[in-house]
Every structure is written in structure tokens, then in C-alpha cells.
Copies of this chain bind each other. A is one copy, B any other.
Amino acid sequence: MRDIFDAELKQLGDDLEAMSSRVEQAVTNAGRALLTADLTLAESVIADDLAIDALERDLDERCVRLLAQQQPVATDLRVVVSALRMSASLERMGDLARHVAQVTRARYPEVAVPAGLEETFTQMQDAAVRVARRVTTLLGTRDLALAESIEQDDDLLDELHSDTFAAMLGGEWEHGPQATVDVTLLSRYYERFGDHGVSVARRIVYLVTGATAEALDPAAVRGS
């Protein structure tokens, strides 16, 4: 019985890792499409989000089945409940990558990122990809040092998010309302992406160390 349960828990971990790997691919492609106005790539990110949604449903069904059949307690129970929440966060990260792709598609053949903000969005993109990649690795290895660097990249995303607002509101913004709307949304998508990455990372830290993270929803704390 214990062997079966361990195998199922292992499968749960593998599924989360696979889901995170898909999210990593999604955000990598979404950002590349955004910065180069690549319509085909943007379309593929939008289409592939359905696969991430399906992975979430499968994973959730597996969790519920596991709860029903194995009746886990203590740490095992926390692992399963955490998996439910981590899959929800990963699904949202996939949605956010899709939202970036949707802005790209709406603005095609123009590049949605206005002149002067290419560098800022390139940095946001790089930070978001690092977050996703480290979440994948953290899920696989439970190397908690990665959690710390995820937090740092999330801080960087918050800073860059502020930078885009400063650029729009500093009095030298020469773009029209469409660019303002796009930058506002894109910047928020990246900022939220970081929040969800941190949320997953903190859940893993909590599972491994049993320590209560100050709060599991960084957005709730930061008021962003």
C-alpha cells in the first residue's frame, strides 16, 4: 500500500514538473513572439495553453483520487493539498503567457512593445523565464537555494514593473493610448507571473522545511 502511495506521490511530482516545464516553454515563446512580433509563435502559445489547462485538470483529478483512495495524513496530505494549489498557480502562469501572446497577436504586424521600452521588457522576459525554469528545477530537485533566486527575480520584476509605470507617467511619454494600454497590461502580466512563481516556490519550501512562510500569496502582502 505504502509503495503504491509513494509511486503515486512521485507521479504527482513528475506531473507538476512537466506542467512547469510547459509553462517555461510558454513564457519563453510568448516573450520571443512579443519582442519580435512573431505571429506564428504567438498563435502557438495561445493554442498550447489548452494543453496546460488539461494538465491541471488531470493533476487535480489525480489529487482527488489520491485523497479518496489513500486517505493520506500529515505530510502526505500536505503534499497532495499543496499539489492542488501549485497546479492552480502554474495554470495561471500559463494563462499569463497566453495573455502576452494575445497582446502580440492583437498588435501584429507591429511590435506591441513601444520604442524606448524594449530593454525593460527584455529584462522582464528574461526574469520571467528564469523564474519558470527555476520553478521547474525546484520541483524536480527540491534545491531550496532556487527558491531564494526566484524571490530575487520576482523583486526584479516588481522593479521593472514600476519602471514601466514611471516611463508612462514621467511626462515624456510620447505614445498614444493603445501603447499605454498595452504596456500597462503586459507589465502587469509579467509582474503577476513572478508572484505565482514565488507562490509555488514558497509552497515547496514549506513542504520541505515545514516552516511557515510569512505569507503564501505575495500579491496579498505587497498590495501590487
Contacts and interface: CB of A to CB of B under 8 A. Distances in A.
Interface of A: 46, 49, 53, 63-64, 67-68, 71, 73-74, 77-78, 81, 84-85, 88, 91, 95, 98, 102, 165, 168-169, 173, 177-178, 180-181, 184-185, 188, 215, 217, 219-220, 223
13 contacts: A53-B220, A64-B77, A67-B77, A67-B81, A68-B73, A68-B74, A71-B71, A88-B88, A91-B217, A95-B220, A180-B180, A180-B181, A184-B184
A219 B189 CA distance: 14
A58 B96 CA distance: 29
A104 to B, nearest CB: 13
Nearest to A53: B220
A223 B168 contact: no
Closest A-B pairs by Cβ, 10 of them: A180-B180, A184-B184, A71-B71, A168-B177, A68-B73, A181-B184, A177-B180, A173-B177, A53-B220, A68-B77
Nearest to A174: B177
Given A53-B217, A184-B185, A188-B188, 5 more contacts: A46-B223, A64-B78, A95-B219, A169-B178, A185-B188
